[in-house]
Structure 1
């Protein structure tokens, strides 16, 4: 679908002139990132204790987009929504299936979905609480956490099936069948944490309780969700809005000031009003670009989503206080290993970062450490491999 840009006068958003979208109503769907969870006030009847908790904010990005394109808005995003909620009613909250709101009179659809299917909410809880509060225990190194996330991502990509998860391709096809003339913008998720990790909050060296290596893992999984959503959208002739660039520096603990609610705020780990403005900008940029996304962007997106994750492998050797690290045995089935970064967790909770396929550092012989190698391939996919290196024999607990 090729969209043209209307020639309008300069505004506060003149860099993103409102796009000409097909005639009809604007329908906005999705989860809490689309509903505006945390940004008060909420629409009447969507923040009811013991009832509807969709928490649809008047400051959500959909409202901003609707105003910029001067289009009536049907707003049906809902906090906690998963892909199954596009197809089945949430009777407890009085919510019909979200896709039932899309029809032949729809001119524009935007949606953000998949984060809850991938388990991001549970993952964040796991990364902060329980055993993960201790120095040597990470989310990225726990298969009980990482395997379900990867399985859900495969289901969203359509590479496998999983009960309760609908693939992005299925959603795109169903929107097409219901609203064949509508413009559709799939909206990605911003990075919650800086890719290299940030610091801030009650626990030194972490951001809102999350270790740097786990911040990086969460960012990597966010990128995988976005890659799958983008490829599916472009494959079906639709558009993708990517807010990650605008959020650069505005993540939790970001250098430019966070656009997210923190751990102890009602909207925790969700964008504040500034974040929704940035997301609306991303939607408008996608509409402005229009058919340009169907050119070189489609093959690149397809290549990215087909890219296999590299397989990290490492050895850790100790000689007195010298800790030697080697990830040269790492492989990549459809490309090359481009980079290896290391995260060393020490007993005092500090986290050292090193770089290179082979590297070394100094650790007291009486200290155990947790070592994570982040192996990155030539297309940006990452694998995380963790190993605990015990104190040198006879040196535990400060023994001489």
Structure 2
């Protein structure tokens, strides 16, 4: 055996061993045709660096879909998530980005269907009793109205992209209870909002599972970085008001990106 043949054999064996041990490079995402759908948590509201073409949809180059694209260089990338989107508007204006060749989809949707922005505004501006009542109304919508809307949306996504791996991401738990905040909402209000977020995530997770999609929670990633934690990855009430309760750059890169990456 020549020296050249010997080392070629060694190289082949080494690559084979690496593959067996799981050390080889993972299958390249370069073959993926990725479409990012959803609302402001996917478009990147609060992270800044919005693309000029996105207008009021506020699609950010710091949002997790862009960050994933930059790290993985998929074959194609369509970013159509839009601030304010509901399950209905996602279905009506975003699903045209999907096709039978789409292999990867990400989505956040459901918060706007139950009036998330109005809930937070009510709690900031009105009494504790009014806040809790508004939260309870939203929870009722989550439990009674949202499941059917999610089923319809997920069915439409599957119909358009039957081979796609679909990752449904949830929403953060917003407050650290007994945290560092000494002003603002009461602990009762914060607890009610957190409970509503948990219920919302639970409904989304179940509907995603029933559709054959992968649900990825972001609660663990944001734990220790909620509002009142002292190291929040979320904007509190701020100007512009649209940024309030949305992830900062760190929330997209340290929260949503890892949650998506682990499930993609």
Q: Which residue of 2 aligns with 1:115?
A: 111
Q: Does 1:258 pair with 2:258? A: no
TM-score (norm 2): 0.83
Q: Which has the higher helix share?
A: 2
Checking the alignment, whether the CA contact within 8 Å between 1:21 and 1:107 is kept in structure 2 is no
Specify which of 116, 119, 140 is matched with residue 150 of structure 1: 140
Q: Which residue of 2 aligns with 1:283?
A: 260
Q: Does 1:271 pair with 2:222? A: no
Root-mean-square deviation (CA, aligned residues, Å) is 2.1
Change (3 A) 1:146 1:175: same
CA distance in 1, matches of 2:87, 2:178: 29
Q: Could you tell me how far 1:172 is from its partner in structure 2?
A: 1.6
Higher relative contact order (CA 8 A, sep 6+): 2
SS at match of 1:27: strand
Q: Does 1:229 pair with 2:229? A: no
Checking the alignment, whether the CA contact within 8 Å between 1:110 and 1:185 is kept in structure 2 is yes
Q: Which residue of 2 aligns with 1:217?
A: 192
Q: Could you tell me how far 1:21 is from its partner in structure 2?
A: 6.4
Q: Which consecutive unaligned segments of at least 5 residues does structure 1 have?
A: 1-5, 10-17, 48-52, 89-96, 159-165, 288-400
Q: Which consecutive unaligned segments of at least 5 residues does structure 2 have?
A: 1-21
Change (3 A) 1:122 1:282: same
CA distance in 1, matches of 2:23, 2:65: 22
Checking the alignment, whether the CA contact within 8 Å between 1:260 and 1:275 is kept in structure 2 is yes
SS at match of 1:42: coil
Q: Which has the higher strand share?
A: 1
Q: Which residue of 1 aligns with 2:39?
A: 31
SS at match of 1:46: helix
Q: Could you tell me how far 1:253 is from its partner in structure 2?
A: 1.2
Q: Which residue of 2 aligns with 1:75?
A: 79
Larger Rg: 1
What is the number of equivalent residue pairs in this alignment? 239
